[in-house]
Structure 1
Amino acid sequence: MLTSKQRSYLRKLAMDIPDIIFIGKDGITPEVIQQTRDAIVARELIKGKIQQNSMEEVEDAARKLAEATRSEIVCTIGNKFILYKKNLLKTKIEVPSKNSKTLKKKNKR
C-alpha cells in the first residue's frame, strides 16, 4: 500500500513518461494484460490511457489491470491512469520509504 507522499512522488515522476498502454473499443483483453505485465516489469511505473471509443471507465480499467498484474494504482486523472509495481530484481525507481520524514528547514532571523 502506497502512502500519499509516495503517490505524490510517483505522480511527479510519471509526468514525463509517455502513455504506453491504450485501451480501445475491445476493452481489457488478454493481450492488453500481457502488454501491461511486460511493461511494468521493464519500467516499474507505467501510464495508460482509455481511448474515446472504449466503453471502459478509467477507475474500473485501472483496478482490473492492477489486479491482473499485482500492481498498485498511483492515480487516475481524466482518461489516464498510472500503475506502479516495484521490480525486486532490477529496481529502477527509489520510492521514499514509509518511515522517512522530510526535514523542513527553519528560517533563521
Structure 2
Amino acid sequence: MNLSTKQKQHLKGLAHSLKPVVQLGSNGLTEGVLAEIENALSHHELIKVKIPTDERDLKKAIIDAIVRETQAFHVQTIGHTLILFKPSDEKKIQLPKA
C-alpha cells in the first residue's frame, strides 16, 4: 500500500501540531532508538522524529534505514524533522479515500 497525495496532505495536517517523540542522539540510529520509534508508532500511528545532522547524505541514509526497519510510511521531512505513519490494528487515524 502506498499513500496517495490526498492522504499525505491529511497526515501532514494532523502532524503539524505534534512535537517530536523520538530524537536521535550522538550515537545515531541504534537498536534502542529503533525500538523506541516502533513503540511510538504502535501507540500513536503518526509521529515526528528529530534527526540532528546537517549532512544531507547521512540524513537520507538514516531516514531510509528507519523507514526500512519500521516499515512505516515516510510522510514528509522538514529540516531535521521526519514525519512517519504506520497504521496500527486499532486504526486510530482514518485516512481519506485514495
Superposed pair shares fold, TM > 0.5:
yes
**Deviation string, structure 1 residues 34-90 (Cα, Å, up to 9, x no partner):** 000000000000101112599973332222111111111001111110000111x21
CA RMSD of aligned residues (A): 2.0
User: Which letter maps to 1:19?
Assistant: P
Q: Which has the higher helix share?
A: 2
The total of aligned residue pairs comes to 97
The equivalent of 1:30 in structure 2 is: 31
Gaps of 5+ in 2: none
Q: Which structure is higher in RCO with an 8 Å CA cutoff and minimum separation 6? A: 2
**1:97 paired residue number:** 97
Q: Matched residues in 1 for 2:10 and 2:58: separation?
A: 25
Structure of greater Rg: 1
Name the CA distance, whole Å, in 1 between partners of 2:83 and 2:17: 12
Equivalence map 1:25-104=2 (5 Å) = 25-51=26-52, 57-87=58-88, 89-98=89-98
TM, length-normalised to structure 2 = 0.89
Query: Cα–Cα, structure 1 residues 23 and 56, in superposed 2: closer, same or farther, change >3 Å?
Result: farther
| Structure 1 residue runs without a partner (length 5+) | 99-109
Q: Name the amino acid aligned to 1:96.
A: P
The TM-score with structure 1 as length reference comes to 0.80
What percentage of aligned pairs have identical amino acids? 29
Q: CA separation in 1, counterparts of 2:51 and 2:57?
A: 7
